[in-house]
Structure 1
């Protein structure tokens, strides 16, 4: 028997119902705030991710699914969505008529990581991006929108973490200070951080190695080096979160290592997933559109880890099996034909109805009705058909009623 690939998963019912619920709530919230859905390919040129994520990151160096196709092009299964959204924004010249664009997309991403709880090699993200808005109000809106979605989904134990990454004017000074601090402690750093410290020193701050975390515990803070415009931008973000009573932590370890990431960075973390605590994260990337060959357009976005979010919600809201509102038990060929007609008529009225066409006994089919937890069961046998009646049983009370066939659809349509 052919088995599922390690690190991939099938999403079966009833879990798939929970996924649909999350998608529905997300779409509704984003569209109220003016975000429109964009659907993107899962394959892109490898160069797109090397330039957007960074050639020295673990994702590009170790985790991407990359191959050469028959035409000689090097292609990659997308490891994240932001780069693809930016590519589409540039390629279709969306800044030409109206630079302000707000998008969301939902779909699978691929990274060859070590599979573990809440982390898969094919994983899913909800991704939200806004272009053409430099104001800190959009930063605050995104963080508040994320918090609202978590509240609507019933997620508890969530904490918001925010930081400012500065800009090309003030960050170089901080990099110099940080690099000197790291150099003095390089003997305590892991192999990855030793490799990163010269090209990407900010990444050392968010290393999960215990020795690196201890070495960097007293590292200088980027917030102390912010220029006046960056400090004011961050102050407005904090003010708007405060005005709406959203609790948050200013987290100096929350960084993005590449230069086109600027100013606000944020994460939503939970205490319900052990070490893998982040369920959503994002930030401003004002330099990325230009870095990928587009105009100099500010942008900001976030991604929600769908798989992790499902795990969190399932702890307090176990997935429920979908059930038909009406279950038909047809006894005999003529009854099956009639049951099929009734199911189709009820479907037109948006009422979920199912019938069992297996020809098994009444006793066996009543057991199946119990397993499906259908509120009402309709029994159609030869005797009932000859009389022009159907027996409708309300499962909760056990009450039965004979209803004329010509009135059955109307009666079943009533609450």
Structure 2
């Protein structure tokens, strides 16, 4: 361009300039191919519609089969139609999906990491054969019911109870903030029993199960969250996940979901930054592009510094997961940092867009709203701070 400014329409060049540390060069060809395929899907299938979905407060359930064909449902699982991709490949997919919208990445996480992951790890061979191939294809949607009205950060205090009745189980209680349940065919339900916490595969049309959609919401509007009420819901013994006993069952799935958030939040932050950068390169005030003003450049630089640091953090955690050396403290550090920084980036990006930044055609305000939910679910800032505090001191501050 004649004034020396970068071309706001050359997104590839802007991304290359923004990758100051050359993180892209740390990825393998296969990892970049995965990222690029998911990025192309988001550009074609999500970006043109997401502002409308968010505004109307609807989740596009029709995307499920397309996400299945893309290979991102249960992406890291082995067999049953799953891709058995690496942790880094899944992380890059989560990043690109959340660059579209947190609600879309959350669907993939609930379906693949929470519901499918629980069945794959703790289910019987018959349960795996029954559910996983159809869930991987997006033909069946699953849900994961752990959080309760009175038990969020402390799942050990859950009051939903399952008792034996002959060869069946009867479940009573309530779950809240449960993703996808109103559009799902099966829910992985965690309940107290005389044997400790157990997991059940409950059909969502089971008699006595009431599912209410939680709305209206100011965040995660292109997603669906629900409350489940169990009024003597009877399920056969074949629905019990035989391998899961105690809180280790749901916690193993939560760690998988938290890992996806480490990368996903980075996508929302990057998309916000890029919207701000491109606007600043187009917008003129006082006779010059606002990208040339010192205060604007400082905002952009601060965003890139945190994006690059968060990207290295996500990649290190992904490499550790692939190497089998990942620890819960690593995941907590990644989730705590990357979501916190992503919110700050989205909010700062909105300021560069000025009044235009409150329009849903510009993504920062939508990402900022969504990230408030991401910051809360799969462990709040406070929970992850205390997990790290216990790791550092050896002392638990929870009880």
TM-score, structure 1 as length reference: 0.25
**Bigger Rg over Cα:** 1
Higher relative contact order (CA 8 A, sep 6+): 2
* Larger strand percent: 1
TM-score, structure 2 as length reference: 0.26
